[in-house]
Structure 1
Amino acid sequence: MRRPTRCHKTVTLRVMRPLAPWIARLALLGSLFATPSALAREHNHGAWLTAGLKGPIGRSEDTRWNYVLHGEYRAYDAFDGLRYSVMRVGAGYRLDHGFSLLGGLDRHHSRLVAGGSLTEVRLWQAVQWKHRFDNDWSFSARARIEQRDFDKRDGTYWRFRTKLGLDIPFSTRDNLAWVLSVEPFFQVHNPNGSNAGMNQVRSFVGLNIDTGEHASVEVGYLNQYGRVRDGADIINHMLQVNLRFSQ
């Protein structure tokens, strides 16, 4: 294996210095879910399945455009509670230095425990940054803004979410890696005027398995903390399975 040049090491150190605070925040935020978990008055258990396909737009090998197709199904409260499904279509544009711009449209459908259903149509825009270190650790940061319209509510709800992630590959197995992430959600605009601030945190720890050149499976534990206005805070303990495919 070719040893990194002195110039390459210098560039890497320059990148790592500004990254240090972000990695520290990731560790700190990831530890915070234990505190609200202990204080929450309602705990649910369930499963969360996602499947995604990503590929280039256009025939050129140098294209910077890509498409994203994504689906989810969530079953809460030991499969006796809320059912939630998501269909997503989006596109991304790859910039230099690990940055990407993304945007898309979602349709979310909930089957409520009390009966009935709720449908949401969501537009979203995001900027993402990824960096791989010399030891093959990968750090990612994503900021995303969403505009949410519900079929039984007036006006558009705005939400901001930011996700920090760290992938740590096994030294003995090329196809295995630990995956850590934390994602707080902030309600920034409600049409009724009651902005709630941070109302959700998702913390995930799992294992990524590369099953082929264009496929991987991610399995792990998701802790989903929800701050309910005028109600009991909720913790969802979820088995999460993510299927990822690429062209």
Structure 2
Amino acid sequence: MRLFPILAAAIALAAPVPALAQQQDEQLWEQLNVVLPVAKGVRVTAEQIARTSDRQEGIYTTEYGVLVGVQIAKGVELGVGYRHVGFFNANTAADEERIRQQIVIARGRFAGRLRLDERFNPGGDEIGFRVRPLVRYNLPLGRSRVSLFGSHESFILPNSTVWGQRAGYERMRNIVGVNVPIGKALSADIGYLNQYRLARGGARAQMDHALTVQLTVNLDKLGIATLHD
């Protein structure tokens, strides 16, 4: 399969700064979601995330969280949740607690999510706010349940903090991949993720190339798309 290096090269050439001016990293991202119905139109999602990096010398981030989603209309869901984020190995950042609110809208082959994060860091009293708009397109392959997908997410920081957050456009994530059903309630998103962090605050720009694998155990049928984090 030559698709992975071809996509990586294409996105690197399209980046807004020369490749030699960037830091490059190869990573593996894993996510597990378990979706449970708790009432009519209400579901709870338990989440586990682990990310491994060459530059960070192994697993550098883990996330554990829970999200409560409420369906307010067909294909429209409001959600609120919490995550504990831990950092390891060469990633020396302080662990964070995060609260988030989001709206997810699914219409045909398109799904979109607008998320607001509040970041709590032991390095200071300020709350770091983060706005994350995401759009995803799904393309079914014939009559099979397998589909291709592509998504884009931007990270916009409205404020700066003493513990390190800097206001402005911070990064983007782009994913191309395939969604494969595995049984009745289990599905897998497998794809190539490209994350580009802009050069900000004296730090060099960084481009991450990751194999992303997301498994979802969905025991609910609200018709709301599960999107990447």
- TM norm. shorter chain > 0.5: yes
Between Structure 1 and Structure 2, the one with more helix by share is 1
Deviation at 1:212, TM superposition (A): 1.2
SS of 1:95 mapped into structure 2? strand
2:35 corresponding residue in structure 1: 54
Shift in CA distance, 32/130, structure 1 to aligned 2, threshold 3 Å: farther
Partner of 2:3: none
Q: 2:77 pairs with 83, 100, 106, which one? A: 100
Aligned-residue offset at 1:117: 5.3
Q: SS of 2:73's equivalent?
A: coil
Tell which structure's C-alpha radius of gyration is larger: 1
In the alignment of these two chains, the number of paired residues is: 207
Query: Is this contact kept in 2: 1:50–1:242, CA < 8 A?
Result: yes
The correspondence for 2:96, drawn from 101, 115, 120, is: 120
Give the aligned partner of residue 84 of structure 1: 61
Cα distance between partner residues in 1 of 2:182 and 2:133: 28
CA distance in 1, matches of 2:154, 2:26: 20
- Give the aligned partner of residue 215 of structure 2: 243
Q: Tell me whether 1:43 sits opposite 2:24 in the alignment.
A: yes
Partner of residue 160, structure 1: 131
Aligned residue among 39, 64, 74 for 2:41: 64
- Aligned residue runs from structure 1 range 214-225, under 5 A: 214-225=185-196
Matched-pair contact (CA < 8 Å) for 1:112–1:118: no
TM-score, normalised to structure 1, is 0.77
Offset from partner CA, 1:26-45 (integer Å, 9 cap, x none): xxxxx798324744510000
Q: Deviations over 1:200-244 (max 9, x none)?
A: 100000011001110001111000111242110001100100011
8 Å CA contact 1:110–1:119 kept in 2: the answer is: yes
Paired AA for residue 185 in structure 1: F
**2:8 alignment counterpart:** none
* The one of 50, 65, 70 aligned to 1:73: 50
Q: Compared with structure 1, are the counterparts of its residues 100 and 232 closer, same or farther at alpha carbon in structure 2 (3 Å cutoff)?
A: same
Q: CA deviation at 1:152?
A: 2.7
Q: 1:218 to 1:37 in 2, by over 3 A?
A: farther
- The 3 A distance-change label for structure 1 pair 226 and 207 is same
> Which position in structure 2 is the counterpart of 1:34?
14
**Aligned-partner SS, 1:190:** coil
CA distance 1:78–1:231, shift in 2 (3 Å)? closer
Contact 1:175 1:210 in 2 (8 A): yes
Q: Does 1:205 find its partner at 2:215?
A: no
The whole-number CA distance in structure 2 between the counterparts of 1:112 and 1:79 is: 6
Give yes or no for contact 2:35–2:218 (8 Å, CA) kept in 1: yes
In 1, the alpha carbon distance for the partners of 2:68 and 2:13 equals 32
Aligned to 2:161: 191
For structure 2, the 5+ residue unaligned runs are 1-10, 220-229
Indicate conservation of the 8 Å contact 2:34/2:218, yes or no.
yes
Quote the Cα distance in structure 1 between the aligned partners of 2:71 and 2:137. Answer: 20
Gap regions ≥5 residues in structure 1? 1-30, 133-137
Structure 1 residues 117 and 146: alpha-carbon distance in aligned structure 2, compared to 1, 3 A threshold: closer
TM-score (norm 2): 0.83
Change (3 A) 1:50 1:72: same
CA RMSD of aligned residues (A): 2.3
Aligned to 1:16: none
8 Å contact kept, 1:111–1:118: no
Q: CA deviation at 1:246?
A: 1.1
